[in-house]
């Protein structure tokens, strides 16, 4: 039998909290009809109630102490919208211990402490859901856990960070360099004042850890994931990518390797025909290859009050339906394995290499010989027109080759006198 009312407590009333509460209250009738119970926002906890927000709640819903949620036995579901780790971890674990289902879009929290928190949820026989943690409003966690639960997932490649995709898109469309575009993005609010988490790939690393954990049924130590950001991508690389038929994207990759997971975050050349190449601006997309489902892509807005609010409310509705059926914990965590992560040296992919060299005959021959001696074979060599003085550039695209071999070849190339600089090393995927 459905309850007449299911009560929600919200902890943190910033962008995400506001997005979720506004949606729950604005579409309350529609949601009630879908759940079979009214979903009521009973308590919202935040320290600051004076500041201006796009939407706010009645005085009787406003609290400043988390106890207002934990100690209220009528609250069934808690939305964690604090962000960060310390306070959020306490809030989520306390809520679970108080036998309340929890919804959080906090990717760092789930990537780092998901196992511990999912255990608490299981012990308390409640739900812990986190659809908003990856891809904002894009339904991806639920499809992975439910729709694709029978498939053998082979590979996940995601554009899962909107800030870096916005920056790379602007660099591609406007031919400008990273620093300039970042400054603009900061001015427009698309990048944080401290952009490290986005531009150095940490955010994408948390997200691929979560997706890979679900897809491959394994625990993942997020600290072991290789991650490289986009701060070294230059206008020159973007220009050459275009000329060669690629776009540069920050990819988060999680694939089955040889008995180990191939898990990494780095910028990559993506061929223009690939569905991911047409994901522009702040949009996110997750490309999934499974057996027998084949290729899938999930595309949408990866952040923001509205999209993340949508994901949080979808989870709240799921929790509420479980409560009404006494079915909390219906889709438990099944990440029992402990698959190793392939060391970066063992990863096999293609490479784009941009080298600055002395402008003299025989350079290509010398360099190609060294590459060949290290087992690096080439699909194309490209010598762009000079645009400045003092040397030439040569661009190389390799066949699929082990990372260790390329790194060894690059060390050898640096030692010969015709090579001034290895200016860029960017992987080629897709």
Stretch that binds its own copies, among 101-109, 170-178, 306-314, 398-406 (CB under 8 A): 306-314
Residues 178-217 interacting with its own copies (rule: CB under 8 A): 217
Closest C-alpha among 133, 131, 135 to residue 158? 135
Of the pair 242, 366, the CB lying nearest its own copies is at 242
The DSSP annotation for 195-253 comes to -HHHHTSHHHHHHHHHHHHHHHTB---GGGSEE--STT--HHHHHHHHHHTEEEEEEEE
For the packed helices 107-124 and 202-216, what is the interaxial angle rounded to 10 degrees? 40
The three-state secondary structure class of 122 is helix
The verdict on 25 binding its own copies (CB under 8 A) reads: no
3-state SS, 96-118, equals HHCCCEEECCCHHHHHHHHHHHH
6 binding its own copies? (CB under 8 A): no
Question: In the set 173, 196, 278, 380, which binds its own copies (CB under 8 A)?
Answer: 278
CB 5 to its own copies: min, Å: 16
- Residue 321 binding its own copies, by CB under 8 A: yes
Is residue 55 part of the contact set for its own copies (CB under 8 A)? no
Q: How far is the CB of 294 from its own copies (least distance, A)?
A: 4
Helices 162-174 and 235-244: angle between axes, nearest 10 degrees: 80
Assigned token pair, 185: 């993005």
- Provide the sign of the torsion angle of the four alpha carbons 42, 46, 48, 53, taken in this order: negative
Instruction: Give me the DSSP letters along 269-305.
Output: EEETTSGGGG--TTEEEEEEEEETTEEEEEEEE-SSH
The SS3 of residue 152 is strand
Q: Which is nearer to its own copies, 172 or 424 (CB)?
A: 172
**Residue 321 vs 354, nearer CB to its own copies:** 321
Q: For residue 181, what are the contacts with CB-CB under 8 A and spacing of at least 6?
A: 167, 170, 171, 174
> Could you give the 3-state DSSP secondary structure of residue 178?
helix
Strand blocks (E) in 185-231: 226-227
Q: Pick from 150, 259, 361, 362 the residue near its own copies by CB under 8 A.
A: 150
* Residue 158 within binding range of its own copies, rule CB under 8 A: no
Q: Which residue of 236, 244, 331, 381 would you call a contact of its own copies, by CB under 8 A?
A: 331
Contact present, 158 and 251 (Cβ < 8 Å) = yes
Q: Which is nearer to its own copies, 11 or 279 (CB)?
A: 279
Compute the least distance from the CB of residue 218 to its own copies, in Å. Answer: 12
Looking at 143, 271, 375, 391, which residue binds its own copies (CB under 8 A)? 143
Measured CA to CA in angstroms, residue 255 lies from 135, 350, 428 at distances of 18, 15, 15
Residue placing its CB nearer to its own copies in the complex, 195 or 309: 309
Burial class (CB in 10 A: 0-12, 13-18, 19+), 297: middle
Q: Rg of the chain's alpha carbons, rounded to an integer? A: 24
Residues 353-392 that bind its own copies (CB under 8 A): none
Considering the complex, state which of residue 123 and residue 421 has its C-beta at the smaller distance from its own copies: 123
- Strand-pairing partners, residue 285, are 159, 299
Q: Please choose, out of 51-59, 112-120, 176-184, 332-340, the segment that lies near its own copies by the rule CB under 8 A.
A: 332-340
From 78-86, 88-96, 227-235, 312-320, span contacting its own copies (CB under 8 A): 312-320
Beta-bridged to residue 252, according to DSSP, are: 158, 265
Q: 1, exposed or middle or buried, with CB in 10 Å at 0-12, 13-18, 19+?
A: exposed
Q: Considering only residues 257, 299, 405, 407, which one is a binding residue for its own copies as defined by CB under 8 A?
A: 299
Query: Closer to its own copies at the Cβ: 67 or 325?
Result: 325
From the list 107, 207, 224, 242, the catalytic residue is 207
One of 6, 10, 23, 95 touching its own copies (CB under 8 A)? 23
Is 207 among the catalytic positions? yes
The yes or no reply on residue 336 touching its own copies (CB under 8 A) is yes
Q: Which of 163, 305, 355, 398 binds its own copies (CB under 8 A)?
A: 305
The number of beta carbons lying within 10 Å of the beta carbon of residue 30 is: 9
Interacting span for its own copies (CB under 8 A) from 96-104, 138-146, 165-173, 342-350: 138-146
Which listed range, 46-54, 58-66, 287-295, 383-391, lies at the site for its own copies (CB under 8 A)?
A: 287-295
159 binds its own copies (CB under 8 A): no
In the numeric block, the tokens 């784009």 are attached to 352
Of the residues 316, 357, 410, 426, which one makes contact with its own copies according to CB under 8 A:
316
Residues in contact with its own copies by CB under 8 A are: 19, 22-24, 27, 30-31, 33-36, 131, 137-139, 142-143, 146-152, 217, 275, 278, 283, 290-301, 304-307, 309-311, 313-314, 316-318, 321-322, 325-327, 329-332, 334, 336
Q: What is the set of active-site residues?
A: 207
């Amino acid at each position: 039998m459905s309850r007449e009312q299911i009560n929600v407590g919200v902890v943190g009333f910033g962008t995400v909290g506001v997005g979720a509460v506004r949606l729950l209250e604005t579409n309350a009738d529609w949601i009630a009809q879908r759940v079979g119970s009214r979903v009521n926002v009973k308590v919202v906890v935040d320290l600051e109630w004076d500041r201006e927000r796009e939407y706010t709640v009645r005085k009787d819903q406003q609290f400043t102490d988390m106890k207002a949620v934990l100690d209220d036995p009528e609250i069934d579901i808690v939305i964690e919208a604090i962000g960060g780790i310390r306070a959020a971890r306490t809030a989520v674990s306390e809520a679970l211990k108080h036998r309340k289902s929890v919804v959080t879009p906090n990717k760092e929290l789930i990537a780092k402490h998901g196992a511990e928190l999912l255990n608490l949820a299981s012990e308390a026989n409640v739900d812990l859901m986190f659809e908003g943690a990856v891809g904002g409003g894009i339904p991806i966690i639920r499809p992975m856990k439910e729709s694709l639960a029978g498939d053998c997932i082979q590979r996940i490649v995601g554009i899962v960070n909107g800030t870096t995709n916005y920056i790379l898109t602007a660099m591609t469309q406007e031919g400008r360099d990273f620093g300039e575009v970042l400054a603009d993005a900061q001015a427009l609010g698309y990048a944080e004042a401290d952009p490290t988490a986005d531009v150095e790939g940490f955010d994408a690393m948390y997200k691929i850890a979560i997706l890979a954990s679900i897809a491959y049924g394994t625990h993942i130590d997020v600290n072991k994931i290789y991650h490289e950001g986009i701060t070294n991508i230059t206008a020159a690389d973007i220009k050459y990518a275009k000329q060669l038929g690629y776009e540069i994207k920050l990819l988060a990759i999680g694939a089955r390797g040889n008995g180990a997971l191939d898990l990494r975050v780095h910028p990559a050349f993506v061929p223009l025909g690939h569905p991911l190449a047409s994901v522009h601006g702040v949009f996110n997309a997750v490309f999934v290859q499974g057996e027998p489902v084949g290729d899938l892509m999930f595309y949408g807005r990866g952040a923001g009050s509205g999209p993340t609010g949508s994901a949080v409310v979808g989870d709240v509705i799921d929790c509420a339906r479980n409560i009404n059926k006494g079915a909390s914990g219906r889709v438990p965590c099944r990440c029992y394995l402990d698959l190793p992560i392939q060391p970066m040296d063992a990863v096999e992919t293609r490479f784009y290499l941009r080298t600055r060299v002395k402008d003299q005959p025989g350079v290509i021959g010398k360099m190609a010989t060294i590459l060949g001696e290290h087992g690096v074979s080439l699909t194309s060599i490209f010598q762009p027109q000079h645009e400045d003085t003092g040397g030439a550039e040569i661009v190389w695209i390799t066949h699929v080759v082990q990372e260790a071999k390329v790194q060894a070849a690059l060390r050898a190339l640096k030692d010969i006198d015709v090579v001034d600089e290895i200016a860029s090393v960017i992987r080629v995927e897709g």
